[in-house]
Amino acid sequence: MSRKSYLFILFLICIFVLSILSGCSRPEKNRDTTPITPSEATEIPMPPKELDPSQILLEKMNLEEKIGQMLIVGFEEALPTPQTQQLIQDNKIGGFILFQRNYMDFDGAVQLTNQLKSWNKENPLPLFISIDEEGGTVSRIPDEGTKFPDARLLGQINDPNLTYQMGQVIGRELKAMGVNLNFAPVLDIVASKENKLLIRRAFGSTPETVAVHGLQFIKGQQKSDVIAVPKHFPGHGDTIVDSHGGLPKIMADRDMLNRRELIPFRETFNEGVYALMVGHLAFPLIDPSGLPATKSAVIMKDLLRTELSYGGLIITDDIEMSAYMGQKDDLEESILLSIHGGVDIFVVGHTYDVQVKILDIIKRAVQDGRISEDRINQSVLRVIRTKNKYHLSDEMINVEQARQNFGINEHKNVLEEIKRRSKKVR
Protein backbone atom coordinates (compact mmCIF):
# COMPACT_ATOMS: atom_id res chain seq x y z
CA MET A 1 0.00 0.00 0.00
CA SER A 2 1.34 3.36 -0.96
CA ARG A 3 2.04 6.03 1.65
CA LYS A 4 -0.68 8.30 0.18
CA SER A 5 -3.31 5.52 0.39
CA TYR A 6 -2.32 4.84 3.99
CA LEU A 7 -2.71 8.50 4.99
CA PHE A 8 -6.08 8.75 3.25
CA ILE A 9 -7.44 5.68 5.09
CA LEU A 10 -6.16 7.09 8.42
CA PHE A 11 -7.93 10.41 7.70
CA LEU A 12 -11.26 8.60 7.09
CA ILE A 13 -10.91 6.65 10.35
CA CYS A 14 -10.39 9.92 12.30
CA ILE A 15 -13.50 11.45 10.73
CA PHE A 16 -15.55 8.38 11.66
CA VAL A 17 -14.39 8.40 15.28
CA LEU A 18 -15.13 12.11 15.71
CA SER A 19 -18.63 11.69 14.32
CA ILE A 20 -19.34 8.91 16.84
CA LEU A 21 -18.08 10.97 19.75
CA SER A 22 -20.17 13.97 18.81
CA GLY A 23 -23.25 11.84 18.60
CA CYS A 24 -22.67 10.62 22.15
CA SER A 25 -23.03 14.11 23.74
CA ARG A 26 -26.24 14.48 25.78
CA PRO A 27 -28.77 16.87 24.27
CA GLU A 28 -30.11 19.73 26.50
CA LYS A 29 -33.64 19.03 27.72
CA ASN A 30 -36.45 21.58 27.27
CA ARG A 31 -34.07 24.31 26.22
CA ASP A 32 -35.93 27.64 25.92
CA THR A 33 -34.81 29.36 22.75
CA THR A 34 -37.02 32.43 23.27
CA PRO A 35 -34.91 35.62 22.99
CA ILE A 36 -34.28 37.43 26.29
CA THR A 37 -35.98 40.80 26.41
CA PRO A 38 -34.26 43.79 28.04
CA SER A 39 -36.67 43.72 30.99
CA GLU A 40 -35.77 40.08 31.71
CA ALA A 41 -32.03 40.62 31.44
CA THR A 42 -29.94 41.19 34.52
CA GLU A 43 -29.94 44.97 35.24
CA ILE A 44 -26.63 46.73 34.98
CA PRO A 45 -25.93 48.32 38.36
CA MET A 46 -26.25 52.11 38.16
CA PRO A 47 -23.75 54.29 40.00
CA PRO A 48 -25.24 55.61 43.27
CA LYS A 49 -26.75 59.07 43.21
CA GLU A 50 -24.44 61.78 44.49
CA LEU A 51 -24.92 62.01 48.22
CA ASP A 52 -26.02 65.33 49.71
CA PRO A 53 -22.99 66.58 51.69
CA SER A 54 -25.27 68.59 54.01
CA GLN A 55 -27.26 65.46 54.84
CA ILE A 56 -24.07 63.47 55.39
CA LEU A 57 -22.79 66.07 57.85
CA LEU A 58 -26.15 66.19 59.65
CA GLU A 59 -26.06 62.43 60.19
CA LYS A 60 -22.63 62.69 61.81
CA MET A 61 -23.74 65.32 64.34
CA ASN A 62 -24.92 64.42 67.82
CA LEU A 63 -27.97 65.98 69.48
CA GLU A 64 -26.01 68.65 71.38
CA GLU A 65 -24.24 69.77 68.21
CA LYS A 66 -27.56 70.06 66.39
CA ILE A 67 -29.30 72.02 69.14
CA GLY A 68 -26.39 74.44 69.41
CA GLN A 69 -26.87 75.39 65.77
CA MET A 70 -30.34 76.72 66.61
CA LEU A 71 -29.01 79.69 68.60
CA ILE A 72 -27.29 82.94 67.68
CA VAL A 73 -26.16 84.63 70.89
CA GLY A 74 -24.63 87.88 72.10
CA PHE A 75 -22.60 88.79 75.14
CA GLU A 76 -22.54 91.93 77.27
CA GLU A 77 -18.82 92.24 77.87
CA ALA A 78 -16.32 94.23 75.84
CA LEU A 79 -14.29 91.06 75.29
CA PRO A 80 -15.34 87.41 75.03
CA THR A 81 -15.25 85.59 78.36
CA PRO A 82 -14.74 81.96 79.47
CA GLN A 83 -18.53 81.63 79.24
CA THR A 84 -18.34 82.66 75.59
CA GLN A 85 -15.68 80.03 75.01
CA GLN A 86 -17.84 77.45 76.78
CA LEU A 87 -20.82 78.24 74.56
CA ILE A 88 -18.66 77.49 71.52
CA GLN A 89 -16.64 74.51 72.66
CA ASP A 90 -19.14 72.77 74.95
CA ASN A 91 -22.52 73.90 73.63
CA LYS A 92 -21.52 74.05 69.92
CA ILE A 93 -23.35 77.33 69.51
CA GLY A 94 -24.35 78.21 65.94
CA GLY A 95 -23.31 81.85 65.88
CA PHE A 96 -22.97 85.24 67.51
CA ILE A 97 -24.53 88.67 67.14
CA LEU A 98 -22.10 91.54 67.69
CA PHE A 99 -22.78 94.98 69.12
CA GLN A 100 -20.52 98.01 69.45
CA ARG A 101 -20.20 97.21 73.14
CA ASN A 102 -18.03 94.25 72.07
CA TYR A 103 -15.24 96.20 70.30
CA MET A 104 -13.76 99.69 70.21
CA ASP A 105 -12.51 99.93 66.63
CA PHE A 106 -11.90 97.97 63.43
CA ASP A 107 -8.83 96.17 64.74
CA GLY A 108 -10.75 95.17 67.85
CA ALA A 109 -13.64 93.84 65.76
CA VAL A 110 -11.31 91.68 63.66
CA GLN A 111 -9.50 90.41 66.75
CA LEU A 112 -12.88 89.49 68.25
CA THR A 113 -14.12 87.56 65.22
CA ASN A 114 -10.75 85.79 64.94
CA GLN A 115 -10.96 84.78 68.61
CA LEU A 116 -14.45 83.34 68.20
CA LYS A 117 -13.38 81.42 65.10
CA SER A 118 -10.29 80.02 66.79
CA TRP A 119 -12.42 78.54 69.58
CA ASN A 120 -14.73 76.99 66.99
CA LYS A 121 -12.04 75.06 65.08
CA GLU A 122 -13.02 71.64 66.45
CA ASN A 123 -16.74 72.06 65.78
CA PRO A 124 -18.48 70.54 62.74
CA LEU A 125 -19.74 73.87 61.33
CA PRO A 126 -18.33 77.40 61.07
CA LEU A 127 -20.01 80.18 63.02
CA PHE A 128 -22.59 82.65 61.86
CA ILE A 129 -21.10 86.00 62.88
CA SER A 130 -23.96 88.47 62.60
CA ILE A 131 -24.71 92.13 63.13
CA ASP A 132 -27.44 94.76 62.62
CA GLU A 133 -26.06 97.12 60.00
CA GLU A 134 -28.91 98.92 58.26
CA GLY A 135 -27.17 102.28 58.04
CA GLY A 136 -28.26 105.44 59.84
CA THR A 137 -30.28 104.83 63.00
CA VAL A 138 -29.14 101.22 63.37
CA SER A 139 -25.42 100.97 62.69
CA ARG A 140 -22.86 98.80 64.47
CA ILE A 141 -19.69 99.22 62.40
CA PRO A 142 -16.70 101.04 63.93
CA ASP A 143 -16.31 104.74 63.28
CA GLU A 144 -13.52 104.18 60.72
CA GLY A 145 -16.06 102.55 58.43
CA THR A 146 -18.39 104.04 55.83
CA LYS A 147 -21.42 105.29 57.76
CA PHE A 148 -24.44 105.40 55.47
CA PRO A 149 -27.69 107.28 56.21
CA ASP A 150 -31.08 105.76 56.98
CA ALA A 151 -32.91 103.68 54.40
CA ARG A 152 -35.67 106.29 54.21
CA LEU A 153 -33.34 108.67 52.41
CA LEU A 154 -32.48 106.04 49.81
CA GLY A 155 -36.18 105.54 49.15
CA GLN A 156 -36.61 109.27 48.66
CA ILE A 157 -33.67 109.53 46.26
CA ASN A 158 -35.26 106.56 44.50
CA ASP A 159 -32.26 105.34 42.53
CA PRO A 160 -32.25 101.53 42.90
CA ASN A 161 -28.68 101.31 41.60
CA LEU A 162 -27.50 103.62 44.36
CA THR A 163 -29.26 101.43 46.94
CA TYR A 164 -27.55 98.40 45.41
CA GLN A 165 -24.15 100.11 45.76
CA MET A 166 -24.89 100.98 49.39
CA GLY A 167 -25.77 97.34 50.13
CA GLN A 168 -22.64 96.13 48.39
CA VAL A 169 -20.33 98.52 50.26
CA ILE A 170 -21.88 97.61 53.61
CA GLY A 171 -21.38 93.96 52.70
CA ARG A 172 -17.72 94.48 51.83
CA GLU A 173 -16.98 96.28 55.08
CA LEU A 174 -18.82 93.69 57.17
CA LYS A 175 -16.90 90.92 55.44
CA ALA A 176 -13.64 92.75 56.21
CA MET A 177 -14.63 92.67 59.91
CA GLY A 178 -15.34 88.94 59.77
CA VAL A 179 -19.14 89.30 59.73
CA ASN A 180 -21.00 86.94 57.39
CA LEU A 181 -24.68 87.61 58.20
CA ASN A 182 -26.47 90.97 58.40
CA PHE A 183 -29.92 91.48 59.91
CA ALA A 184 -30.97 93.93 57.19
CA PRO A 185 -32.73 95.38 55.30
CA VAL A 186 -35.99 96.47 56.90
CA LEU A 187 -38.86 95.48 54.58
CA ASP A 188 -41.58 97.06 56.69
CA ILE A 189 -43.89 99.58 55.02
CA VAL A 190 -44.12 102.63 57.28
CA ALA A 191 -46.45 105.51 56.51
CA SER A 192 -47.08 107.05 59.94
CA LYS A 193 -44.48 109.18 61.69
CA GLU A 194 -45.98 107.85 64.91
CA ASN A 195 -44.07 104.63 64.26
CA LYS A 196 -40.93 106.11 65.77
CA LEU A 197 -39.15 102.76 65.86
CA LEU A 198 -39.13 102.33 62.08
CA ILE A 199 -40.09 105.55 60.30
CA ARG A 200 -36.48 106.31 59.34
CA ARG A 201 -35.34 102.70 59.00
CA ALA A 202 -37.93 101.77 56.34
CA PHE A 203 -37.34 102.59 52.66
CA GLY A 204 -40.79 104.08 52.31
CA SER A 205 -44.54 104.08 52.77
CA THR A 206 -45.57 102.06 49.72
CA PRO A 207 -45.05 98.38 48.90
CA GLU A 208 -43.48 99.28 45.56
CA THR A 209 -40.78 101.54 47.03
CA VAL A 210 -39.89 99.10 49.80
CA ALA A 211 -39.84 96.12 47.43
CA VAL A 212 -37.58 97.77 44.84
CA HIS A 213 -35.03 99.18 47.26
CA GLY A 214 -35.12 96.27 49.67
CA LEU A 215 -34.36 93.87 46.84
CA GLN A 216 -31.46 95.98 45.56
CA PHE A 217 -29.96 96.24 49.04
CA ILE A 218 -30.17 92.44 49.36
CA LYS A 219 -28.54 91.88 45.98
CA GLY A 220 -25.69 94.22 46.90
CA GLN A 221 -25.13 92.43 50.22
CA GLN A 222 -25.13 89.02 48.63
CA LYS A 223 -22.77 90.17 45.88
CA SER A 224 -20.31 90.78 48.73
CA ASP A 225 -20.92 87.23 50.09
CA VAL A 226 -22.76 88.45 53.17
CA ILE A 227 -26.08 86.79 53.99
CA ALA A 228 -28.86 89.38 53.97
CA VAL A 229 -31.68 88.79 56.47
CA PRO A 230 -34.71 90.98 55.67
CA LYS A 231 -37.04 91.84 58.54
CA HIS A 232 -39.58 92.01 60.29
CA PHE A 233 -41.93 89.44 58.76
CA PRO A 234 -44.88 89.69 58.26
CA GLY A 235 -44.64 93.48 58.66
CA HIS A 236 -43.95 95.86 61.56
CA GLY A 237 -45.06 99.03 59.77
CA ASP A 238 -48.69 99.49 60.74
CA THR A 239 -48.24 100.02 64.48
CA ILE A 240 -46.90 102.59 66.92
CA VAL A 241 -45.99 99.96 69.54
CA ASP A 242 -42.30 99.12 69.88
CA SER A 243 -41.90 95.36 70.29
CA HIS A 244 -38.93 95.94 72.59
CA GLY A 245 -41.38 97.18 75.20
CA GLY A 246 -44.70 95.49 74.38
CA LEU A 247 -46.49 93.23 71.93
CA PRO A 248 -47.81 95.11 68.88
CA LYS A 249 -51.25 93.92 67.75
CA ILE A 250 -51.78 94.72 64.09
CA MET A 251 -55.39 94.55 62.92
CA ALA A 252 -54.67 93.59 59.32
CA ASP A 253 -56.48 90.71 57.65
CA ARG A 254 -55.10 88.38 54.99
CA ASP A 255 -56.31 90.59 52.16
CA MET A 256 -54.56 93.63 53.60
CA LEU A 257 -51.33 91.71 54.05
CA ASN A 258 -51.46 90.49 50.46
CA ARG A 259 -51.99 94.02 49.15
CA ARG A 260 -49.32 95.65 51.33
CA GLU A 261 -46.99 94.00 53.82
CA LEU A 262 -46.28 90.77 51.96
CA ILE A 263 -45.38 92.36 48.63
CA PRO A 264 -41.74 93.24 49.48
CA PHE A 265 -41.15 89.86 51.12
CA ARG A 266 -42.67 88.00 48.19
CA GLU A 267 -40.48 89.90 45.73
CA THR A 268 -37.30 89.05 47.60
CA PHE A 269 -38.27 85.39 47.96
CA ASN A 270 -38.63 85.17 44.19
CA GLU A 271 -35.06 86.44 43.79
CA GLY A 272 -33.50 84.13 46.34
CA VAL A 273 -33.36 84.93 50.06
CA TYR A 274 -31.89 82.31 52.36
CA ALA A 275 -32.73 83.75 55.78
CA LEU A 276 -35.55 85.86 57.19
CA MET A 277 -36.21 87.54 60.54
CA VAL A 278 -39.71 87.15 61.97
CA GLY A 279 -40.94 89.90 64.28
CA HIS A 280 -42.67 89.64 67.65
CA LEU A 281 -45.96 90.87 66.18
CA ALA A 282 -49.52 89.64 66.77
CA PHE A 283 -52.08 89.57 63.94
CA PRO A 284 -55.36 88.61 65.67
CA LEU A 285 -57.39 88.65 62.44
CA ILE A 286 -55.06 86.03 60.98
CA ASP A 287 -54.19 84.02 64.08
CA PRO A 288 -56.99 84.43 66.68
CA SER A 289 -54.73 82.96 69.37
CA GLY A 290 -53.08 86.37 69.64
CA LEU A 291 -49.62 84.78 69.69
CA PRO A 292 -46.73 86.77 68.26
CA ALA A 293 -45.60 85.62 64.82
CA THR A 294 -42.50 84.07 66.40
CA LYS A 295 -44.74 81.56 68.22
CA SER A 296 -47.45 81.17 65.58
CA ALA A 297 -47.74 78.14 63.32
CA VAL A 298 -50.48 79.98 61.42
CA ILE A 299 -48.04 82.69 60.36
CA MET A 300 -44.83 80.69 60.03
CA LYS A 301 -46.11 77.34 58.70
CA ASP A 302 -49.36 78.20 56.94
CA LEU A 303 -48.53 81.64 55.60
CA LEU A 304 -44.75 81.71 55.23
CA ARG A 305 -43.88 78.11 54.39
CA THR A 306 -47.03 76.95 52.59
CA GLU A 307 -48.61 79.98 50.91
CA LEU A 308 -45.42 81.89 50.14
CA SER A 309 -43.33 78.74 49.52
CA TYR A 310 -40.43 80.11 51.57
CA GLY A 311 -37.78 77.46 52.16
CA GLY A 312 -34.98 79.38 53.89
CA LEU A 313 -34.10 79.95 57.52
CA ILE A 314 -36.68 81.40 59.90
CA ILE A 315 -34.85 83.45 62.53
CA THR A 316 -36.50 85.21 65.46
CA ASP A 317 -35.97 88.79 66.46
CA ASP A 318 -34.16 88.87 69.81
CA ILE A 319 -36.31 86.79 72.15
CA GLU A 320 -35.24 88.80 75.19
CA MET A 321 -37.53 91.57 73.96
CA SER A 322 -40.67 92.14 75.98
CA ALA A 323 -42.96 91.17 73.11
CA TYR A 324 -41.61 87.61 73.40
CA MET A 325 -40.45 87.00 76.97
CA GLY A 326 -42.74 89.50 78.63
CA GLN A 327 -45.94 87.66 77.67
CA LYS A 328 -47.92 85.20 79.79
CA ASP A 329 -46.17 82.11 78.42
CA ASP A 330 -43.17 80.96 80.43
CA LEU A 331 -39.86 80.53 78.60
CA GLU A 332 -40.16 76.78 78.13
CA GLU A 333 -43.66 77.01 76.72
CA SER A 334 -42.59 79.85 74.44
CA ILE A 335 -39.60 77.97 73.03
CA LEU A 336 -41.67 74.87 72.31
CA LEU A 337 -44.40 76.93 70.63
CA SER A 338 -41.77 78.57 68.44
CA ILE A 339 -40.15 75.31 67.37
CA HIS A 340 -43.49 73.65 66.63
CA GLY A 341 -44.48 76.83 64.80
CA GLY A 342 -41.46 76.72 62.52
CA VAL A 343 -38.53 78.68 64.04
CA ASP A 344 -35.09 77.47 62.94
CA ILE A 345 -32.84 79.87 64.91
CA PHE A 346 -33.40 81.86 68.11
CA VAL A 347 -31.52 85.12 68.59
CA VAL A 348 -30.65 85.61 72.27
CA GLY A 349 -28.60 88.76 72.34
CA HIS A 350 -27.70 89.39 75.96
CA THR A 351 -28.02 86.96 78.84
CA TYR A 352 -25.85 83.86 79.26
CA ASP A 353 -28.23 82.18 81.73
CA VAL A 354 -31.12 82.49 79.28
CA GLN A 355 -28.98 81.09 76.48
CA VAL A 356 -27.95 77.93 78.32
CA LYS A 357 -31.47 77.48 79.67
CA ILE A 358 -32.88 77.44 76.13
CA LEU A 359 -30.33 74.83 75.06
CA ASP A 360 -31.41 72.69 78.02
CA ILE A 361 -35.13 73.21 77.28
CA ILE A 362 -34.73 71.99 73.70
CA LYS A 363 -32.58 69.00 74.71
CA ARG A 364 -35.02 67.82 77.39
CA ALA A 365 -37.96 68.28 75.04
CA VAL A 366 -36.33 66.00 72.47
CA GLN A 367 -35.35 63.43 75.07
CA ASP A 368 -38.88 63.16 76.48
CA GLY A 369 -40.56 63.20 73.06
CA ARG A 370 -42.21 66.62 73.12
CA ILE A 371 -40.13 67.56 70.08
CA SER A 372 -38.95 64.94 67.60
CA GLU A 373 -35.31 64.83 66.54
CA ASP A 374 -36.60 64.86 62.96
CA ARG A 375 -38.02 68.33 63.65
CA ILE A 376 -34.63 69.48 64.93
CA ASN A 377 -33.00 67.94 61.85
CA GLN A 378 -35.20 70.03 59.55
CA SER A 379 -33.88 73.25 61.05
CA VAL A 380 -30.27 72.15 61.29
CA LEU A 381 -30.26 70.97 57.68
CA ARG A 382 -31.33 74.48 56.61
CA VAL A 383 -28.51 75.91 58.72
CA ILE A 384 -25.93 73.58 57.17
CA ARG A 385 -27.08 74.30 53.62
CA THR A 386 -26.98 78.06 54.20
CA LYS A 387 -23.50 77.93 55.70
CA ASN A 388 -22.31 75.73 52.83
CA LYS A 389 -23.88 77.92 50.16
CA TYR A 390 -21.99 80.97 51.40
CA HIS A 391 -18.79 78.96 51.96
CA LEU A 392 -18.55 80.08 55.57
CA SER A 393 -15.28 79.20 57.25
CA ASP A 394 -13.35 79.79 60.43
CA GLU A 395 -10.30 81.01 58.56
CA MET A 396 -8.44 83.77 60.37
CA ILE A 397 -8.57 87.31 58.94
CA ASN A 398 -5.39 89.25 58.30
CA VAL A 399 -6.03 92.66 59.84
CA GLU A 400 -3.77 94.59 57.45
CA GLN A 401 -5.32 93.03 54.37
CA ALA A 402 -8.85 93.44 55.70
CA ARG A 403 -8.28 97.13 56.39
CA GLN A 404 -7.84 97.66 52.65
CA ASN A 405 -11.60 97.03 52.27
CA PHE A 406 -12.81 99.15 55.18
CA GLY A 407 -13.65 102.84 55.03
CA ILE A 408 -11.70 103.27 51.79
CA ASN A 409 -12.16 106.12 49.29
CA GLU A 410 -14.02 103.93 46.82
CA HIS A 411 -16.66 103.27 49.48
CA LYS A 412 -16.74 106.88 50.65
CA ASN A 413 -17.47 107.95 47.08
CA VAL A 414 -20.77 106.05 47.19
CA LEU A 415 -21.63 107.82 50.45
CA GLU A 416 -20.77 111.21 48.93
CA GLU A 417 -23.01 110.51 45.95
CA ILE A 418 -25.90 109.73 48.31
CA LYS A 419 -25.28 112.98 50.18
CA ARG A 420 -25.15 114.93 46.93
CA ARG A 421 -28.37 113.39 45.62
CA SER A 422 -30.13 113.86 48.97
CA LYS A 423 -29.93 117.65 48.66
CA LYS A 424 -32.42 117.46 45.79
CA VAL A 425 -35.10 115.64 47.78
CA ARG A 426 -35.11 117.65 51.01
Please write the tens of the pLDDT for every residue from 157-182. Answer: 999 999 999 999 999 999 999 999 99
What's residue 1's pLDDT? 52
Active site includes 350? Answer: no
Q: Is the pLDDT of residue 41 over 70?
A: no
What is the reported pLDDT for 246?
Answer: 74
Q: Among residues of the chain, what percentage have pLDDT more than 90? A: 75
Residue 280 lies in a domain: yes
Which pLDDT score, from 0 to 100, does residue 329 have?
Answer: 67
361 part of a folded domain: yes
For the chain, the domain total comes to: 1
Is the model's pLDDT at 237 over the cut of 90?
no
Question: What is the C-alpha separation between 335 and 408, in angstroms, rounded?
Answer: 43
| Residue 187 lies inside a defined structural domain of this protein | yes
Q: Active site includes 317?
A: yes
pLDDT confidence of residue 33: 42
Which CATH number goes with the domain that contains 243?
Answer: 3.20.20.300
Q: What is the pLDDT of residues 330-369, one digit of tens each?
A: 899 999 999 999 999 999 999 999 999 999 999 999 999 9
Residue 21: pLDDT above 60?
Answer: no
212 band by pLDDT with thresholds 50, 70 and 90: very high
Residues 6+ apart with CB under 8 A from 183: 97, 130, 131, 132, 229, 231, 277
When pLDDT is cut at 50, 70 and 90, the band that residue 38 belongs to is very low
Average pLDDT over residues 219-246: 85
Q: Is residue 312 part of a domain?
A: yes
For residue 376, is pLDDT > 80?
A: yes
**What is the rounded distance in angstroms from the CA atom of residue 363 to the CA atom of residue 357?**
10
Is residue 198 pLDDT above 80, yes or no?
yes
Q: Which one from 159, 225, 244, 302 is the annotated catalytic residue?
A: 244
Spot the catalytic one: 132, 238, 317, 318: 317
Indicate the range of 20-34, 186-200, 330-344, 383-397 predicted with least confidence. Answer: 20-34
288 lies in which domain range? Answer: 69-421
Is residue 33 situated within a structural domain?
A: no
Q: Whole-prediction pTM value?
A: 0.86
Average pLDDT, the chain: 88
Would 47 be classed as within a structural domain?
no
Asked if residue 37 has pLDDT above 60, the reply is: no
Q: Looking at the domain assignment, is residue 249 inside a domain?
A: yes
301 found inside a domain: yes
- The pLDDT value recorded for residue 196 is 83
